[in-house]
Amino acid sequence: METMRDKRIDVAVLTVNQDYMDASNAAAVKQDILRQLDGRTQAILDLSRVAFVDSAGLSGLLACLQQVAQTGGDLKLCGITDEVRVLFDLIKMQRLFEIFDSTEQAVLACEG
């Protein structure tokens, strides 16, 4: 997982370097995300490299959102592929997550 910190604001920008988030790796990806947050309450998760998410992957994302929300923070998603967007639209993930087309748009939303 790639991590960077935006210098303008205290936000973790995390890129998931997996083609898929499913039962075989969802727990490890979730733990990696939570570890990379390193106490920061604002995070952006870039899913542009993820082509497939199953229920275990969704559960991992929701667990990360819940963990961040417990500290008064926010987890935004960006770069969602068309394949994953179909699933997210179907189950209305936009009700739970703010979803942006690009990392830059998500960072701007954190600033405002």
Whole-number Å distance between alpha carbons of 13 and 58 = 19
Cα of 53 vs its chain's centroid, Å: 12
Residue 10: the pLDDT is 76
What is the predicted pLDDT for the residue at 31? 92
Q: Which amino acid is at 87?
A: L
Q: Which of 6, 72, 78, 16 is nearest to 39 (CA)?
A: 72
2-105 under CATH 3.30.70.990, yes or no:
no
pTM of the model: 0.90
CA dihedral 98, 101, 102, 104 (to 10 degrees): -60
Q: What is the pLDDT of residue 6?
A: 53
pLDDT of residue 37: 83
Helix H or strand E encompassing 12? strand 11-15
Cα–Cα distance, 42 to 34 (Å, whole number):
12
Query: Would you kindly state where each structural domain of the chain is located, as residue ranges?
Result: 2-105
CA–CA separation, 79 and 46 (whole Å): 6
Q: How many CA atoms lie within 13 A of 17 on its CB side?
A: 4
The pLDDT profile of the chain, 112 residues, written as one tens digit per residue, is 555 555 556 788 999 999 999 999 999 999 998 888 877 788 999 999 999 999 999 999 999 999 999 989 999 999 999 999 999 999 999 999 999 999 999 999 988 7
What pLDDT, on a 0 to 100 scale, did the predictor assign at position 8? 55
